[in-house]
Amino acid sequence: MGEVIVITSGKGGVGKTTTTANLGSALAALGKKVVLLDADIGLRNLDVVMGLENRIVYDLVDVVEGNCRLAQAMIRDKRYDNMHLLPAAQTRDKTAVTPEQMKELTDTLKEEHDYILVDCPAGIEQGFKNAIAGADRAIVVSTPEVSAVRDADRIIGLLEASEIKNIELVLNRIRPKMVEQGDMLNLEDVSETLAIDVLGVVPDDESIVIATNRGEPAINMSNSKAGQAFMNMARRIAGEDIPLMELNEAGFFDKILNFFRGN
Partner 1 sequence: MNQNKVLFKGRQNGIVVVLDPDSEFDILKVVLQEKLEEAKDFFGASTTHISFDGRKLTEDEENELLEIITENSDINISFFSPIESISAKTSQKEKKEEKGEKEEKEEKKEKNPFQYETGVLDESSIDANKEIYKQSMGDTLVSATEGNAQYHFGSLRSGQSIEYRGSVVVIGDVNPGAEVIAEGHIIVLGALRGLVHAGCLGMSDAFVAALRLEPIQLRISSVYTYIPEEKQSKELEPSIAYVEEGKIFINPLIE
172: left (phi over 0), alpha (psi -120 to 50) or beta: beta
Is residue 193 within the footprint of partner 1 (CB under 8 A)?
A: yes
Is residue 150 within the footprint of partner 1 (CB under 8 A)?
A: yes
> Contacting partner 1 (CB under 8 A), which of 57, 68, 71, 195?
195
Edge to edge, what strands does the sheet with 83-86 contain? Answer: 75-76, 83-86, 34-38, 115-119, 3-8, 137-142, 166-174, 197-203
Least distance from partner 1 to the Cβ atom of residue 196, Å: 11
Number of residues assigned to the chain: 263
Least distance from partner 1 to the Cβ atom of residue 149, Å: 9
Is residue 156 within the footprint of partner 1 (CB under 8 A)?
A: yes
CA distances, 79 to each of 9, 58, 83 (Å)? 28, 21, 9
Is residue 154 within the footprint of partner 1 (CB under 8 A)?
A: yes
- Name which of 124 and 178 has its Cβ closer to partner 1: 124
Is residue 151 within the footprint of partner 1 (CB under 8 A)?
A: yes
Least distance from partner 1 to the Cβ atom of residue 123, Å: 13
> Contacting partner 1 (CB under 8 A), which of 160, 180, 197, 240?
160
Residues 6 or more apart from 60 whose CB is under 8 A from it? 37, 38, 39, 41, 73, 86, 87, 88, 89, 97, 105
Residues found near partner 1 in the complex (CB under 8 A): 150-151, 153-154, 156-158, 160, 193, 195
